[in-house]
Amino acid sequence: MGQKNGNGVPAYQRIQGVIRKRIEAGQLRIGDPVASERDLAKIHQVSLMTARHALATLEREGIVERRRGIGTFVATPKIHFNKLMSYTEQMAGRSLTVSSKILFAKIIHDEQEIAARLALPASIGIIKLERLRATSDEPFALETCYFSSVEFPNLLSAPLNRESLFKILEREYQVEIGYADEEVDATAADARTADLLSVPRGEPLMRIRQLIYSTKGKAVTYVLGFYRSDRHKLLIRRFR
């Protein structure tokens, strides 16, 4: 497992790099078989243990899935909610390109609960942005974001369908995202959400309510997201 090449890179990481590049280049697609441990050991001239370690690490990361008695295959990508990142950034971390279809983008005045969450006057205009997020033409999530129309003027004129929202906030409004308070639960897809996410009505979804703050501790946006449970994983570290 400690074998290295001439550049000091551990052999198992070298094997992982080769598999990742083949996936990124489209040479290996979702569901395609990956070389077995024995084949990898022979191809890369390493021990069986090293090849096994390479695949096990890729499996933990959700890159491949191992089916007992059948083999190892490229896994359907799952997004791990283990870091506060925009959806675009999360997908980029998996070498996937995200697309966004804007379903609703207007200033509204009838969301008093949202205004309260953002610590805004009840009478203030609220920007409501609803987007369907997808990759490879497959819908992954339905997200609705709310912002103060006073603090973020002209936000609706930004390229919200193709650029990271966090990057737009940082570049155009000098807002640095700091942290988020989140409520996570499960819900069943209603008729509209099921149709948008291409899942059966009543399908279990992960629902996340986020109140996202700047590094200065000011509430920036409230986000209500519905995520396909077969495409997302929530990783939690607990301390005693």
DSSP bridge pairs for 101: 132
- Say if residue 69 is in the same domain as residue 85: no
Section 101-123 average pLDDT: 93
66-75, 114-123, 226-235 — which one is most confidently predicted on average?
114-123
Residue 145 in domain: yes
pLDDT tens digits for range 86-105? 555 555 555 556 778 999 99
Say which residues have a Cβ less than 8 Å from residue 182's Cβ, sequence separation at least 6.
Answer: 208, 209, 210, 211
- Say if residue 17 is in the same domain as residue 129: no
The enclosing domain of 53 has a CATH number of: 1.10.10.10
pLDDT tens digits for range 178-203? 888 889 899 999 999 999 999 999 99
Closest Cα to residue 143, out of 62, 217, 79?
79
Give the chain's end-to-end CA distance (angstroms, integer): 32
Read off the DSSP letter of residue 166: H
Residue 238 in domain: no
Range of the domain at 193: 79-233
- Say if residue 117 is in the same domain as residue 224: yes
DSSP bridge pairs for 99: 134
Residue 240 in domain: no
Q: Provide the number of structural domains found in the chain.
A: 2
Last residue of a domain, one of 54, 74, 94: 74
pLDDT value at position 235? Answer: 64
Please answer whether residues 85 and 94 qualify as being in contact, where contact means their C-beta atoms are separated by less than 8 angstroms.
no
Distance, CA of 65 to CA of 61 (rounded, Å): 10
DSSP 219-231: EEEEEEEEEETTT
- Say if residue 98 is in the same domain as residue 138: yes
- Say if residue 56 is in the same domain as residue 32: yes
Question: What does the mean pLDDT of the chain come to?
Answer: 85
- Say if residue 98 is in the same domain as residue 188: yes
- Say if residue 177 is in the same domain as residue 67: no
Read off the DSSP letter of residue 77: P
pLDDT tens digits for range 8-56? 678 889 999 899 888 878 788 888 899 999 999 999 999 999 999 999 9
What tokens does 205 get? 């979804």
Last residue of a domain, one of 58, 74, 90: 74
Neighbours of 76 (CB within 10 A): 12
- Exposed/middle/buried for 216, CB within 10 Å: 0-12, 13-18, 19+? exposed
